[in-house]
Structure 1
Amino acid sequence: MSRLSREDWASAALDALSAGGLAAVAVEPLAVRLGTTKGSFYWHFGGRDELVEAALRLWRQAGTTSIIEGLEAGGAPATQRLRQLFTQVFAPEARTDADLALLADAGHPLVAAALADVTEQRLAYLTALFRELGFPPARARRRALLAYSAYLGQLQLMRSAPGLLPKPGPARTAYADDILATLLAEGPVRPPSG
């Protein structure tokens, strides 16, 4: 058996967190799952919080940073990158369970800080896409918030009422088209009140 790395532990912790929330990130069950002892854990980490931080970094990298970097590397127009983003994050293989699990544990200081950072990174990227599409700064930010709200709502429906959502294929594509059309629609602009 090869020696486990810090990344092996972080990945196992992220899997546990995705399946059962922050409470599921426990050293002994993870050691059993990885086929090792707690000694391996303490070789890599000073304590559970350090493991949670490593899992949160992995979540951010896999679920946000890598996705943005991949979209930007393709050089597609902003509309196409927005479409690709929606397609990618709603694909069956996307690791979205971690997002919902972390939202449920948002009161924990480590989770709260990670959620705030990732949410802002995601909103900044969406805002930049809407700015590229010609939306003024304030409207671009509002569209980004609307898009992110649609994402979070979709995740909640996928967990609580999956039968309501269109199945992958043409129906899901049409649904994504409707979301994108709504986000890109130019509605009436009202001056800010008060």
Structure 2
Amino acid sequence: MEQAAERGWRGSAELWLEGAHVLLVEGGVEAVKIGALADRLGLSRTSFYWHFADREALLAALVQRWRATNTAALVARIEAPAATVTEAILGLFDAWVDPGLFDSRAEFAMRTWALTDPSVARALAEEDAHRIAALTALFLRHGVPPVQADTRARTVYLTQVGYIALRSDEDFETRMARIPEYVLVFTGLAPSAAEVAAFRARHAVRSAAPEDR
């Protein structure tokens, strides 16, 4: 520890990874370069190599980070206990309304990256399949027949992917107003007033924030 202190602070692997994530979101994978990252963090290029073997190792860690955050957040919401299928879908919507749960900018960056990198495309296909399987299981738990469960799962998921791919820009209250109708479209059932009220209550802080209006 004393020797490391004498040589100066090299940051941590998580710090370098977080910095790389910001560069990826802001400028795509081409922007994730060791020199640019070191400059952004105010650290030396050589410090990077204490944590990662090379740029490829950093990029692999970025893919793993995305798997462990966005997919994990979605699956956690999908598998949360719910009394009705409409309540379950509203629970999933928590992730897509709250950027603290699901990072849509990172999702867009990953999908763009996958267009030019076969290994990332494979990872993306695996995560898409994982997420759709989890959604299908959600519908099956609530008594939806298998073929319909698969179709509804794909409708839910691909709609949100479309939002991300098109970088759809709608203000927070507009999206919130559409939520009950989306639940009806996706499940064939209207959510109860109590379910909608509970959903809105969970997001009341964002609803009140000036930047969301």
Bin for the TM-score computed over the shorter chain: 0.7 to 0.9
Q: How many residues align?
A: 179
Q: Tell me by how many angstroms 1:40 deviates.
A: 1.7
Match of 1:63 in 2: 70
Q: 1:132 aligns with which of 118, 121, 141?
A: 141
Checking the alignment, whether the CA contact within 8 Å between 1:11 and 1:58 is kept in structure 2 is: no
TM-score, normalised via structure 2 length = 0.75
Q: Which runs of 4+ in 1 moved over 4 A?
A: none
Checking the alignment, whether the CA contact within 8 Å between 1:18 and 1:101 is kept in structure 2 is: yes
Match of 2:25 in 1: 18
Q: Tell me by how many angstroms 1:28 deviates.
A: 0.7
Per-residue CA deviation, residues 98-153 of structure 1 (Å, 9 max, x unaligned), is: 11122122230231122112111211111111111212222211111111111011
Match of 1:153 in 2: 162
Checking the alignment, whether the CA contact within 8 Å between 1:87 and 1:176 is kept in structure 2 is: no
CA 1:102–1:127 in structure 2 vs 1: closer, same or farther (change >3 Å)? same
Checking the alignment, whether the CA contact within 8 Å between 1:79 and 1:133 is kept in structure 2 is: no
- Which one has the largest radius of gyration? 2
TM-score, normalised via structure 1 length = 0.82
1:103 aligns with 2:111: yes
Match of 2:151 in 1: 142
Match of 2:184 in 1: 181
Q: Distance in 2 between matches of 1:71 and 1:52?
A: 28
Identity within the alignment, %: 34
Say which SS state the counterpart of residue 32 (structure 1) adopts.
helix
| Root-mean-square deviation (Å) | 2.1
Q: 1:168 aligns with which of 172, 175, 189?
A: 172
Q: Tell me by how many angstroms 1:68 deviates.
A: 2.3
Checking the alignment, whether the CA contact within 8 Å between 2:20 and 2:62 is kept in structure 1 is: yes
1:39 aligns with 2:39: no
Unaligned 5+ runs, structure 1: 187-194
**Paired residue type of 1:53:** A
